[in-house]
Structure 1
Amino acid sequence: MSIAFLLTTLIVVATPGTGVIYTLAAGLSHGRRASVVAAFGCTLGIVPHMLATITGVAAVLHTSAVAFQTLKYLGVAYLLYMAWATLRDKDALLVEDEKAPRSTTRTIVSGVLINILNPKLTMFFFAFLPQFVGFDEPDSLVRMLELSAVFMLLTFAVFAAYGILAASVRSHVTSRPRVMTWMRRVFAGSFVSLGAKLAFAAR
Structure 2
Amino acid sequence: MLTLDQLLAFLLAASLITISPGPDNLMVLSLGMSRGRKQGMAFGLGCALGCLSHTLLAVVGVSSLLVASPVAFAALRIGGGAYLFWLGVQALRSRGGATVPTHAADAPEQSAMQLLWRGVFANAINPKVMLFFLAFLPQFVAADRGDVPWQLAQLGMVFTVQAAVLFGVLGYFAGTVGQWFARWPLVALWFDRLAGVIFCGLGARLIFIS
TM-score of the two chains, using structure 1 as the length reference: 0.59
SS at the partner of 1:128? helix
Aligned counterparts of 1:167 and 1:102: Cα–Cα separation in 2? 19
Partner of 1:29: 34
- Map residues 3-152 of structure 1 onto 2, 5 A cutoff: 3-56=8-61, 86=104, 88-89=106-107, 102-135=110-143, 137-152=145-160
- Post-superposition Cα deviations, 1:151-187, rounded to whole Å, max 9, x if no partner, equal 11110111111111114589x9xxxxxxxxxxxxxxx
Structure 1 gap ranges (5+): 63-82, 93-100, 173-203
Question: Which residue identity does 1:151 align to in structure 2?
Answer: F
Contact 1:26–1:35 (8 Å) recurs in 2: yes
In the alignment, structure 1 residue 166 sits paired with structure 2 residue 171: no
Aligned counterparts of 2:46 and 2:126: Cα–Cα separation in 1? 14
Change (3 A) 1:45 1:9: same
Following TM superposition, the consecutive aligned residue runs of length 4 or more in structure 1 with deviations greater than 4 angstroms are 167-170
Aligned counterparts of 1:6 and 1:37: Cα–Cα separation in 2? 22
SS at the partner of 1:46? helix
Contact 1:35–1:167 (8 Å) recurs in 2: no
How many angstroms does 1:132 deviate by? Answer: 1.2
Structure 2 gap ranges (5+): 66-75, 77-100, 180-210
Aligned counterparts of 1:167 and 1:111: Cα–Cα separation in 2? 20
Aligned-residue RMSD, C-alpha: 3.1
How many angstroms does 1:123 deviate by? Answer: 1.2
Question: Which residue identity does 1:124 align to in structure 2?
Answer: F
Aligned counterparts of 1:30 and 1:84: Cα–Cα separation in 2? 12
Q: 1:154 aligns with which of 137, 155, 162?
A: 162
How many angstroms does 1:150 deviate by? Answer: 1.0
How many angstroms does 1:56 deviate by? Answer: 0.8
- Post-superposition Cα deviations, 1:101-157, rounded to whole Å, max 9, x if no partner, equal 831231012211221232121111111111111456422222221111111111011
Question: Which residue identity does 1:157 align to in structure 2?
Answer: V
Contact 1:49–1:125 (8 Å) recurs in 2: yes
Aligned residues: 140
Question: Which residue identity does 2:22 align to in structure 1?
Answer: G
SS at the partner of 2:173? helix
Aligned counterparts of 1:84 and 1:109: Cα–Cα separation in 2? 21
How many angstroms does 1:8 deviate by? Answer: 0.7
Change (3 A) 1:88 1:111: same
Change (3 A) 1:14 1:133: same
Aligned counterparts of 2:177 and 2:143: Cα–Cα separation in 1? 46
